[in-house]
Structure formats: C-alpha cells, structure tokens
Structure 1
C-alpha cells in the first residue's frame, strides 16, 4: 500500500509575500504537486496534508531562533497555497490534515500510527522545503522502514544548492526513488 504526504505547501512557504517563501521555485511546482495529489485521491490512497503550525507566543521553539515567524495559527500564511487550497476544500473528507510543529511530519505526531493502521509501506513525498521539512520527513520515514518516493517536479526550496543536495541524499543515502 502507498500513501502521500504533502508537506507545507502554504502561503507563508510559497506565496511571493510569504514569511519564509520559496517564491518562484515553490510556485513552479504547483501544477505537478496538485496533479500528484489528485492522482492519489482518485486511487483512494491515503493522503496527508502535513502543515507546519506555530504559535506567536511560543518563544521556546528552536525554529524561532533560525527563521522569522511563519505558519502562525489562524493566519492566512498558514492556509494552503493556490490550487491546492481549492482542491483540498473539495476533498477534506478524503485527506487527513496533520498539524506539525517540527520539520519532520513524524516528529510529535500520529503519522506513523496512521500509516501502519492502513498497512502503508511506500511513502510518497511532495512539498517544501526539499532540504528541510521534506528531508527530515524522509529521514524519519527511512528510519521507520518505509520505502520512499520523492516526486522531483513536486518539491522545491528557497536554497537551490540545498535542493540539489537533498535530491542526491534521498537517492544515495536513503535509497529513495526520485521520480
């Protein structure tokens, strides 16, 4: 069985004026990312929207020292970006929304339990940032024994060198399929 995790494709990470935007790189993957999501929903595969959630008053979170405030609860920046937002509105019952506080969609969440309940062994990853949240999710998936598939045309970063490094790392170190 296979599942799809769509990681952090929100206004703050993708929109031109987003707080921590990938900008044009993130916007360029919109078509591919939405198409992959549509395909998984149509085949009734398990689809997860793993979305970063931070609180403005949380001064202890380590990301606050590294990045500007982003994906704050109840703000437009945390809403899904573009066509993915429209698509999600039509399929909320078929897509599992997962709030996450850390880079990895596994860290501090019930993602592994949800996947194992469905006997999912192959995990497909799309979203942003290739070299941060997608990478950390892939490393945890690897350590938990999942087969990993990265959709190269549906991942992006604000750091082109980090993006290319992560794609090589997925394949050469995690044994992921990069398609």
Structure 2
C-alpha cells in the first residue's frame, strides 16, 4: 500500500482569526495535529501534496464569487500555509516527494494533475487533512472515491465552519464513501 497525504487549504485565509473565509478556532485547534501528521508522513517516506485554493483578484466569473467573499487570492499572504504547517512545509518543500498544487475548485482533483501524479507513484490510498471538511475535503474525497482510491480522513486534522457541517462530512466519508476515519 502506497499512501499520499493531501493537505487541503490549511491557509491563513481559512484559519486565522482575520482570515477572509475562516473556520477560526475549530481550524486553529487542528494546527498541532496537521503539522505532526505531515512531518510523520514525510519521515515515513510518503508523498505529500499541498492542494491550495488559488483565486485571481477580481475574477467575477468563478462560481465561488457568488457564494463566498474573496479568499486565497494569488499573491497575497492569505494563501500562506498557517502556523506550524507552514514551518513544516518550509523544511520539506524541496524534496521530490512534496508537491504544491494550485486548485481553482473545491476538489484537489478538479483541473489539476493530481490523479496523474498519484498513479505515476502507484499511490492507492489518500490521507486527507485540512479545511473545510464539508467543502474542499469532501469534494476531494468524492473524486478520490470515484477514481478508485482508498480514503483515510484524520478526524483531528480537518475542520469546518460549524460543528454540524463537520459531523455531516465525517458521516458521509465513512458511510457513503467507505473512508476510514482515523480518530
């Protein structure tokens, strides 16, 4: 079994108190766990993908503009990885097993070459971390399921805007997508 950890959108705009679309305290509470998991995956020799939302300033054509305030604008500090995860990334980013992927849609697979890169490396299991559990993490999980990957979601390394959204997503991962929920 070859695993890849996919770290989704754990950025300043989604986590910091003054982030543009922040999950606030819930996202901040997973900072230690997400950094620890990333470092452990790296130490084990797993592949690590940072799938990061990237929007263009003034892009009125993107469907999210009708749903959410502008966030993760390219060239702004809002796209910087938050806290300790940013520190881990800085220490591992030059390794050939570590990838940064800009994404425009919720899913890390949509409009990226993530599936190709995973298949080239014979990855069969994706381990999902990040935010928002019920949006970008969920859409990534659905695409992973449809592409035939085994899915693991680390409950203590994902966060949502509300507890209800978080609970819905974890239930959906486990009972609809057959994902393994790591406590």
SS at match of 2:61: coil
Unaligned runs of 5+ in 1: none
Deviates more, 1:139-148 or 1:77-86: 77-86
SS at match of 1:145: coil
SS at match of 2:65: helix
* TM-superposed deviation, 1:89: 0.9
Q: Which residue of 1 aligns with 2:31?
A: 30
* TM-superposed deviation, 1:57: 2.3
Does residue 1:135 correspond to 2:158, yes or no?
A: no
Q: Which residue of 1 aligns with 2:81?
A: 80
RMSD: 0.6
Distance 1:86 1:36 in 2: 13
Q: Which residue of 1 aligns with 2:5?
A: 4
1:143-179 Cα offsets, whole Å, 9 max, x none, are: 0000000000000011210110000000000000001
Does residue 1:158 correspond to 2:164, yes or no?
A: no
Q: Which residue of 1 aligns with 2:69?
A: 68
Does residue 1:125 correspond to 2:103, yes or no?
A: no
SS at match of 1:123: strand
Distance 2:135 2:33 in 1: 20
1:35-71 Cα offsets, whole Å, 9 max, x none, are: 1100110011110000000001211000000000000
Distance 2:161 2:65 in 1: 18
Q: Which residue of 1 aligns with 2:47?
A: 46
TM-score normalised by the chain length of structure 2? 0.97
* TM-superposed deviation, 1:116: 0.1
Distance 2:44 2:170 in 1: 26
1:15-51 Cα offsets, whole Å, 9 max, x none, are: 0100000000000001110111001100111100000
Pick the aligned partner of 1:147 from 145, 150, 162.
Answer: 150
Distance 1:169 1:126 in 2: 15
Q: Which residue of 2 aligns with 1:169?
A: 172
Unaligned runs of 5+ in 2: none
Distance 1:52 1:115 in 2: 19
TM-score normalised by the chain length of structure 1? 0.99
Distance 1:160 1:21 in 2: 14
How many aligned positions are there? 179
Distance 2:57 2:66 in 1: 13
Q: Which residue of 2 aligns with 1:105?
A: 108
